[in-house]
Amino acid sequence: MVRLPPVIGHRGLSALAPENTCAAIHAAYSHGISWVEIDLSLLGDGTAVIFHDDTLERCTQHQGHLVDINREDLAWLDAGSWFSHEFAAEPIPTLAEMLSLLSTYHMGLNLELKAQPHVSHATIVRCAYSHIKKYWKSSQPIVISSFDHDILLAYRKADPDALLAMLYEDLQPDWQSVAHRIQPLSLHCHYPELTQDSITAIKSKGYQIAAYTCNNLNEAIQLWQSGIDTLFSDQAHLFTQYLNNKAE
């Protein structure tokens, strides 16, 4: 069975480089981080890109909606300057570029599928699945996660062997019946809402637990002690360093 690592770089190593860019993956790799999480969204023309928001302003120098741009716009969009001038002109990566890069680095991946109003579930699933088949050249695992559990159900139909993860802001009372249908590897939960009872219940059903997004080492140590398998962190390099020192 695939075991998730104790730390996953959230949107790459997003404390040191602009989130969801190739620069954030280079940073993760150079700091010894073995797994990253990134967000999949589709542009208006269906191009699969790594980007978190529906709008451009937070993570680029530009205004507008992701749905209103197309592949050719990736040539001029700057997704790095907002973070630091050191990353000026860093592009929004395509999913194809990102999968190739991560394969080269032999890193594990959690690909989060963002639900978008203008895109059908079938399109999102087809897009992710076909890209992974074509561009993932590594023996490392890929875990597909989503807050939209209908997307995960569609993915399960498309790929009975896929490693899936149900994302929750608040764990819902029906989580067990949904999990029974999706057959996930793990549940990915917002950690302030997790209780010891829910952690115990999830683990007792054989699912791993990942919690987002923890950037404080003392909190991280408590979360690991409470039975959480994996933490998403923007500061994954600090957690990795702590774990490496502890193992020595």
Residues of this chain that interact with Mg ion (CB under 5 A) are 39, 112
90 binds, among Mg ion, ligand G3P, none (CB under 5 to 8 A by kind): none
Nearer to ligand G3P, 99 or 211 (CB): 211
Based on the shown chain and the rule CB under 6 A, indicate whether residue 149 belongs to the binding site for ligand G3P. no
Residues 40-79 as x/- pattern, contact with ligand G3P by CB under 6 A: ------------x---------------------------
Smallest separation, CB 10 to Mg ion (Å): 7
Q: Which residues does 80 contact at the CB level (< 8 Å), separation at least 6?
A: 18, 21, 23, 86, 87, 88, 89, 90
In the DSSP assignment, the letter for residue 55 is B
232 binds, among ligand G3P, Mg ion, none (CB under 5 to 8 A by kind): ligand G3P
Nearer to ligand G3P, 37 or 244 (CB): 37
Among 112, 151, 208, 240, binds ligand G3P (CB under 6 A): 112
Smallest separation, CB 167 to Mg ion (Å): 8
Residue in 115, 192, 103 with CA at minimum distance from that of residue 151: 115
Q: Which residues does 222 contact at the CB level (< 8 Å), separation at least 6?
A: none
Q: Which residues does 134 contact at the CB level (< 8 Å), separation at least 6?
A: 96
Among 131, 156, 188, 237, binds ligand G3P (CB under 6 A): 188
73 binds, among ligand G3P, Mg ion, none (CB under 5 to 8 A by kind): none
Residue 117 Cα distances to 67, 68, 78, 220, 236, angstroms: 10, 13, 25, 34, 32
Q: Which residues does 208 contact at the CB level (< 8 Å), separation at least 6?
A: 3, 4, 185, 186, 187, 229, 230
Based on the shown chain and the rule CB under 6 A, indicate whether residue 168 belongs to the binding site for ligand G3P. no
Among 135, 168, 212, 224, binds ligand G3P (CB under 6 A): 212
Question: What is the C-alpha to C-alpha distance for residues 137 and 102, in angstroms, rounded to an integer?
Answer: 9
Nearer to ligand G3P, 191 or 224 (CB): 191
Residues in the interface with ligand G3P (CB under 6 A) total 11
Q: Which residues does 79 contact at the CB level (< 8 Å), separation at least 6?
A: 18, 20, 21, 51, 59, 60, 90, 91, 92
List residues binding ligand G3P (CB under 6 A).
10, 37, 39, 52, 112, 145, 167, 188, 212-213, 232
